[in-house]
Chains A and B, each alone.
Chain A
Amino acid sequence: MPGKLKAKIVAGRHLPVMDRASDLTDAFVEVKFGNTTFKTDVYPKCLNPQWNSEWFKFEVDDEDLQDEPLQITVLDHDTYSANDAIGKVYIDIDPLLCSEAASVISGWFPIYDTIHGIRGEINVLVKVDLFNDLNRFRQSSCGVKFFCTTSIPLCYRAAMVHGFVEELVVNEDPEYQWIDRIRTPRASNEARQRLISLMSGELQRKIGLKVLEMGGNAVVGYLQCFDLEGESGIVVRAIGTACTLDKLSAGANANAYTHPNTAPASNACNSPSKDSKEPVFSEDPPTALGPLTPLRVLPSSSPPPFSSSKPCSRQSSSSDTDLSLTPKMGMGSGGSVGKEAGPLKMLLRQQTQTALEQREFPFFTLTCFPPGFLVHVGGVVSARSVKLLDRIHNPDEPETRDAWWEEIRQEIKSHAKALGCHAVVGYSESTSICEEVCILSAAGTAAILNPRYMREGCLDIGSGDHRFDEPSPPSCGFCHIPYDELNMPFPAQLTYCYQCRRQKVPDVLFTTIDLPTEAAVSGKGCLIQARLCRLKKKAQGEVNATSISNLLPFMEYELHTQLMNKLKLRSMNALFGLRIQISIGENMLLGLASATGVYLSALPTPGGIQIAGKASGDLSNEQHVLSIQKRINDAMAKNKEMYHINPPELSEEAAGSPIPEPKQRSRLFRSQSESSDELSELDLSHGKKDAFVLEIDDTDAVEDIHSLLTDAPPPAGFYSCNTEVMPGVYNWTSGLQMFTSVRVLRLSNANLTNQSLNKIFTDMCENLLKSLYFKLRSMIPCCLCHVNFTVAVPEDELIQVAVTAVAMSFDKEPILEKLGDRAVFKGLYPMPPCLKQRDLSSSERCSPLPEGRSRSLRSTRSSGGGGGGTAVTVVKMTPLSFLPGTRLIKYLGIINMFFIRETTSLREEGGVSGFLHTFIAEVFAMVRAHVAALGGNAVVSYSMKECVFMENPNKNQAQCLINVSGDAVVFVRDTDQEATPTLIHTSCGGTDGPT
C-alpha cells in the first residue's frame, strides 16, 4: 500500500447551462481512481459552483499510481432522469511521484467533453503521499524521470549514459469492439482515451523498470507513439535513452544556461582544454557538461506503431537499406588518424566497441550531446519494412510487434557497422498505416562515441582517452570519416579536412542529429525539403504490400537525389536533422524529407550542378540547356549571398601545402589496397569538381530541375530550419510563437500522373510555408525553428500536411535596425507574445506554485462579477528544448496527452476548419492548464505526434485524434539572474554549489 492519493474539488466556473428551464446547472463531481469513486454534493442552480469538498483519499499501489490517471467527471444532477455528463478531466499524477518534480497539482482545468469540447473549468487540488517501499521485486518505477527533450536537460548533467530502452504494449481498440455498436460515440471515445492513458502509464512504468535495472534514474529523448491499427488493435510503443542524471546546483545552473546559441559556435580548437579535463570518465566538472549541453530535439516524428500480433504477417519486403540505395548519404570520418595514432586508435576503438557491443542496441535517441561525446559521424542509416497487420490475439504477448522492431533495429545496427561505427545517434522509429498494410521505419546517424560516458568504457580507457581526442578538434572532428578509407562502404569522394587538414572528410554529410554546437559553420542554415508522390494501384493484402515495398527503394532514391540537388543549389555541404517520412494511402505513397542544410567549414565547397543535354547539335535544345544552367548558377550565387556563405578563401591556398603530402600517402595505401578508383583520387586534389550532372532529357531530371527552381526562398528577414537552432543566429529575443498549422487538400482530378501529383504536393508544402511567413511577418527578423512537417493520406483523395514549429525573433544587429523594422511593419499586430510581455505582466513570470494557486483561488471568488484580474498563468510552448533569454530551473515532469474530439454537427461548428481549429486550440489550452497546475510556466520539447483527422461531410460528422507531448518546466528570465551574481561566479569556477 505504498501510496495515498488525495484530491479535493474546489470550484467550477463558466459551466454550461444544462437546465434550459432555469438557465442554470445543478453540478456535482465524481472523482475516480482505479475502481474507487467519490462524489461531491450537488451544488444547485449555479454556473460557478463552489464545492469546496473534503479531501477524497485513495489508498493505492504505486503501480496503479503510475498506470492510472485520476478521472474527474462533472455532471448535472437530474432528479427524474439520468444525470447528464458535462465533461471530464484526466489528470496524470506521474509528476507527483518524483520528488524532484511537482509536489502538488492545483489549478483550473478545462472540463472536456469529446462531443462538445471544453465546457467550463474546474479547480482541483491533488497530492500524493508516497511511502518508501524497498521491495526489490516491485513492479513500479516511481522516481524515474522522463524527458521528451533529446539532449541532456538543462540543469542536469549526465553522470552516465546507459543507452537504449524500448517497450511496447498492445490492446484491442475499443472503437472496434462489438460493444461499440451499441454504445454512444461519447462512451466509445472516452473508453479509448482512458485506455490509451492507461497504456501509456503502463508503458512508462515498464520502461522505468528497465532503466532501474540498468542503474539509471532517467530517460532522455523519450519518444512515445501510438499505432492505431484499426481492427488489429492499438499499439503504444516508446523508445528512449536511459541515463543517470545529476541535478546541477543552482549556481551551476545559472552558468549552464548560457545556451549555446547565445554564443557563436566555433570556438574551434579548444581541444587542449579537453585534455586538462578530468581523466577518464564521466565526472567532468559540471561546467563542462552542463553548460555546453545543447539541447535540441530532433526527431519528434511520430511514428505509429506496428501492428498486430499473431503469426507474422507477411513481410513482403524487408527493409531496404538506405545505405545501399543512397550511396552518398553519410559519411563521417574518423577513419585513419594520423599515422602514429593508428594503432592506438585501433585499440581504443576496440575498447569502445566492446563497451557498446555488450548492449543489444547501441542506439541513442539523443540528437545533441555533451561536448566530446560524439567523436565521428558516419552518416544516416535507415531501414524500412512493410508488414501486413493481423489481429493481436493476445495482448499480453506482443511478440510479433517486438520481433518486427527487433529485426529493423538489427538491420540499423549492421548498417552502422558497415560505416565503421559502433553506435547510432539521433535514432527514431515511426510507422505509417493504411488499412492492413504498415510501414515500419527506423533511422539514425551512425557514429563513434567517446566511451567516457559509458560505464564499461570508463573503466579501461584511462589516459588513452586524451590522445584519442586530441587529433580531432571539436569544430571538425565529428566530420572525419569513421570508416576505413580503403574499404569504403560506398563510393565517396574524400578530401582532407578543410579545418585541421589532418584527416579525411567526405564531400557531403547527412545526419539525423542537431548541428553540434562546437561545429564550425559558414553562414546560416536553411530548411531543405524533398517531396515526392507516387501513384500506386489499389490493391489488397499481400499484393498491396508487395507493390508498396517495390516502390519504396525508388522513392528513397529520388528523395535523396532531390535533397542532394537542393543542397548543392544552396551551396551547402551538410544536412542535419534529416527526417524522411513515407506515408501510405490507398492509391499513392507520399514521401517528405526535411532537413537543415548548412555549410560546414570542414567539408569541401560543394561543386556546381551541371546540366547536360542529350544530343548536341540541336541548337534550340542547347540553348535551353544553357538557359537552365544559367538560372541554376544564378540561383546558387544568390543563395550564397542570402545565407552569408563565405568560406574562408584561405582554405584554397592553404590547401596547397598539405595536399601533396596526403596524396602521396594515399597513393601508398592505394597500392596496397585492391582498387580504389583513380578518379576519386584525382578529385581529391581539387575539391571543387562539379559532382553533379543532370541529364535534361531524362524526364525525371526535368522534374528535378523544375522542383529545384520552383522552391521559393523565404522572404527577407525570415530563416527556417528543422533543427533546434539556426546556425549563424545568436541574439534571440524572448519573442516566440509556437503554432500548429494543418492543411488538407482534396484531389479532384481522377487521372493524375506522378508528375502532376508531385507538383500539387510540392505546391501545397510551399504554399503552406508562404502562409506561415505571411502570418508571422510581424516577428521579422525571425527564424522558424524546429519546423516539423508530417504528411498523411487520410482518405483516397486527400493529402494532409501538418506543421508544428516555433517562430523566434532575433535582433539583427543591435538597436539601430530595430527601429526601422518597427516602422515598416507598424500596421501589423505588433507581435504577440513575449517581446512585449516582458514588461507587461508579472503573471507571466514563472509563478511557483503557491502564488499561482492563490491567484486562481482568488479568481474563483471574483469570477462572478468583478474586474477580472489576470487569473491565468501565461504558459509558453516550444518544440525546442530551451527558451531564449531564460533559464530553466526545474523540470516538472512529462506531459503526454491524448484527446479525441468528435462532432455530429460539423456545419454548425464552422465546417472542418472550424472544427479542427477549435480542437487544436482546446488541446493547447488543456496542455497549458496542466502545466500551470503543476506550477510550471512553459512546455519545452513540445510535439504533436499524432493528428488523425477523419470526416464525413455528408453525414455532417468529423472525428479527430490528437496526441501531444512535452516537458513541463519552470523558467525564470535571464534578467532575474543578475540578482544572484555570486552564484554565477561560483559556477564559473566549476565548483559545485549546494544542491
Chain B
Amino acid sequence: MAVELDVFVGNTTIMDEEVYQLWLDGYTVNDAVKVRMVSEGMEEYEASAEVVMSDTMDQYRTFQMCERLLHNPTKLANQLLFQIPPHRQAMLIERYYTFDDVFVREVLGKKLSKGTKKDLDDVSSKTGITLKSCRRQFDNFKRVFKVVEELKGPLVENIRQNFILSDKLARDYAAIVFFANNRFETGKRKLQYLTFQDFAFCAGQLIKNWTVGAVGESVFLYVLDNMVEDMDVDLDKEFLQDLKELKILITDKDLLDQHKSLVCTALRGKTKVYTEMETNFKNLSRGLVNIAAKLTNTKDVRDFFIDLVEKFIEPCRSDRWASADMRLYLTHYTNSAHLLDTFKYQVVWDRYMGVIKSCIFKMYHD
C-alpha cells in the first residue's frame, strides 16, 4: 500500500515561509521534514511525520513550479497560474534572490562562468551551504548580470525594476555585478578578513563616484537620450587618465614636504600615534597616489583592494592606529592638499580621495 499521488492545490497558493526557506537552503524533502518535526509548534497539531511529509512535498512542488517565474520576477505579477497576493509575491522574490554573505564572498569578483560554477562543490563544502543553494545563488548572480549587462541606465535602478527587489538587495546585486564586471580580486588571503558588506559598500562608492554615470547626474542628464552603455558598470576612463596627474604629489619633492608639514601641523597633539604618522607619511602618500596613477591598467584595477590593504591599511595596522586615528589622518591628508598652491588637480583629487577615504574607513577593522 503506497501513496501513489498526493496533491493539494489552493485557489490562493499556500506557501509556508519556513518551508520556503528550507527549500531555498537546499534541504531535501526528507531533511526538511526532520527539521520541521522538531521545530516549535508542531506538537500542537499532533502532526505525524506522514502529514508533514505530505505537506512538505506539496510545498516543494509548488516552489519548483514557481521557480521558473522567479527567474523572471516581472512575470510573477501578471502570470495567471498562481494566485499569490502581492505582498507574498514580494516575499517570494526577495527571499529567492537573497544570498548568503559567506557564499558571495567566495565568488565575488570572479567571472560568472561555467568554470566557476563547476567549482561550486568546493565552495559548498567550504562554506557548509548546500550545493543546491550555491547553484541557485550563483545562477541568480549570473542572471542579474546578464540582464543588466544589456541595459542602459543606472545599474541599481535597472536591477530593482527588472527583478523587483528591495533597495538594499538591489544595491548588493549592483555590487556583485560591478565586481564581476571589473573582476576585482577579493579572494587573496590578505583580503579574507573583509566581509561582503565591506565590499558592497566600497562598490557603492565606486559606482557612485568613479563611473561614467557618476559625474554629477545633473551634468549628465542631457546625455540621457544617447546614454552611454554600461555607464554604471565601467569606471570612467577619462577620470582614470586624469588620476595620473596626481603623481605630482609624490614626485615633486617640495610638494610632498609641504603636504607632509601641513598634515603634521594639523595632527599634532590630536592623536597618540602622531609619531608613527609622521614617520610613515611619505610612504603612505606614495602608496595612495601610486594606486591612483596605475588605475588605467586593467590588471591594477583588479588589484585595487589588495593594494589598498597592502599599501595603506596594513602599515597603519601594524602601527596600531585606531579607526579614529585613521579618520583623522585621512581627513587632514585630503584637505591639506587643497592648501598646496601649486597643486592644480583639486577636483580629481577630491573625486579620488572621497572614495578612497570611505573605502578605507570601511575596510579598516580595529
**Chain A residues with a Cβ under 8 A of chain B:** 13-14, 108, 110, 118, 121, 715, 737-749, 760, 767, 770-777, 798, 800, 824-825, 827-829, 832-833, 836-837, 840-841, 859, 863, 865-872, 874-877, 910, 912-914, 916-918, 920-922, 924-925, 928-929, 949
Contact = CB atoms under 8 A, between A and B. Distances in A.
B115 interface: no
A981 B10 CA distance: 36
B64 interface: yes
B269 interface: no
Contacts of A836: 85, 87
Given A832-B10, A869-B78, 18 more contacts: A118-B80, A737-B14, A739-B11, A740-B9, A743-B7, A744-B6, A746-B4, A775-B14, A775-B58, A841-B86, A863-B74, A866-B161, A867-B161, A913-B5, A913-B57, A913-B61, A916-B7, A917-B61
B87 to A, nearest CB: 6
Contacts of A870: 77, 86
A89 to B, nearest CB: 12
A81 B88 CA distance: 44
Contact of B16 (A829, A866, A949): A829
Contact of A832 (B57, B64, B85): B85
B41 A924 contact: no
B2 A745 contact: yes
A618 to B, nearest CB: 35
- What are the 9 A-B residue pairs with the smallest beta carbon separation, nearest first? A868-B77, A871-B78, A744-B5, A832-B12, A920-B9, A739-B10, A744-B4, A833-B12, A868-B74
Nearest to A749: B1
Contacts of A949: 5
A876 B55 CA distance: 23
A865 B75 CA distance: 9
6 contacts: A745-B4, A746-B4, A773-B45, A863-B78, A868-B77, A912-B5
Interface in B1-37: 1-18
A484 to B, nearest CB: 49
A949 B46 CA distance: 32
B78 A868 contact: yes
Contacts of A832: 10, 12-14, 85, 88
B283 interface: no
B280 interface: no
Contacts of B16: 828-829
Most buried by B among A827, A836, A871, A912: A827
Interface string B233-245: 0000000000000
Interface of B: 1-18, 39-41, 44-48, 50-52, 54-55, 57-58, 61-62, 64-65, 73-83, 85-88, 161-162, 164
A231 B55 CA distance: 39
Contacts of B57: 913
B41 A827 contact: yes
Contact of B55 (A771, A859, A914, A916): A771
A929 B79 CA distance: 11
Contact of A910 (B61, B81, B87): B61
A14 B85 contact: no
A776 B14 CA distance: 9
Contacts of B58: 775, 917
Contacts of A121: 80
A767 B58 CA distance: 15
| Most chain A CB atoms below 10 A, which of B78, B79, B80, B164 | B80
B158 to A, nearest CB: 10
A162 B247 CA distance: 100
Given A747-B1, A824-B41, A771 B80 contact: no
A798 to B, nearest CB: 6
A833 B4 CA distance: 30
Given A775-B55, A798-B4, A921 B79 contact: no
B9 A741 contact: yes
A742 B12 contact: no
A924 B1 contact: no
A110 B80 contact: yes
B75 A14 contact: yes
A760 B2 CA distance: 11
A738 B8 CA distance: 11
Contacts of A743: 3, 5-7
A767 B87 contact: no
Nearest to B15: A829
A447 B161 CA distance: 63
Contacts of B15: 829
A517 to B, nearest CB: 26
B2 A746 contact: yes
Nearest to A763: B1
Nearest to B14: A832
Given A739-B10, A744-B5, A876-B11, A828 B18 contact: yes
Contacts of A760: 1
A894 to B, nearest CB: 18
Most buried by B among A747, A770, A910: A770
B337 to A, nearest CB: 44
Contacts of A876: 11
A774 B87 CA distance: 23
A833 B76 contact: no
A419 B181 CA distance: 85
